[in-house]
Amino acid sequence: MPTEFAIAIAIGALSRYRHNLMWQESGLAPVGRSSHKERSAVKHMLVVVMMLWAGAAVAQDSKLNIELNSIAARDNICQVYIRVLNQTDAAYDVFKIDLAFFDKGGVINDRVLVDLAPLRARKTSIHVFDMPDLDCNNVGEVLLNDITECKAAEGAKAPDDCFAAVALSAKGDIRFIR
């Protein structure tokens, strides 16, 4: 990992600088006080290390984003389009979600269990499914009620809590909530 390598180099350089300062302050080293340029360089290096560290933390905090992209009637059947952005290193063989559809008045209209798998690692995918008994024009909200099953592909590790690992988003006027 290039970021981890850069952080290790920067930490090593800071450690050497700190070690030199300790020797100078103890009076055992014949070197004078550190200059303003040296202190400024160390401050800049610290900022770079913190930025790299923050970037590494964000990369490790990658998520699965499930987006309610569209709900529209096609040939008199309501079709639901879900976009999944798998920003993790894990692929999934099984990823079943329980969705509940509410009308604009807040009354539940329908419920469905959808398997979004297979989900490839670091890949965006589109899933379309029909809801023949749903009035597309009256949907006001979709609830991700649960993730009923979440099984990573062989060699990959699924999160301990798949529900918590998922971020939700929606396009258009229909809210997508948990």
Domain boundaries, the chain: 2-60, 64-177
Amino acid 3: pLDDT: 46
Q: How far apart are CA 81 and CA 122, in angstroms?
A: 20
- pTM for this one? 0.66
Which strands make up the sheet holding 139-152, listed edge to edge?
108-115, 92-103, 139-152, 175-177
Structure tokens at 92: 């999934």
Distance between first and last Cα of the chain: 35
Q: Which residues contact 63 (CB under 8 A, 6 or more apart)?
A: 87, 88, 165, 166, 167
Q: How far apart are CA 88 and CA 94, in angstroms?
A: 15
Task: Give CA angle at 144 (138, 150), nearest 5°.
Answer: 145
Q: Is domain 64-177 annotated with CATH 1.20.120?
A: no
Q: Mind listing the pLDDT tens digit for each residue in 96-136?
A: 999 999 999 999 999 999 999 999 999 999 999 999 999 99
> What does the mean pLDDT of the chain come to?
82
Q: Mind listing the pLDDT tens digit for each residue in 27-40?
A: 665 555 555 666 66
Q: How far apart are CA 71 and CA 66, in angstroms?
A: 14
Q: How far apart are CA 83 and CA 72, in angstroms?
A: 15
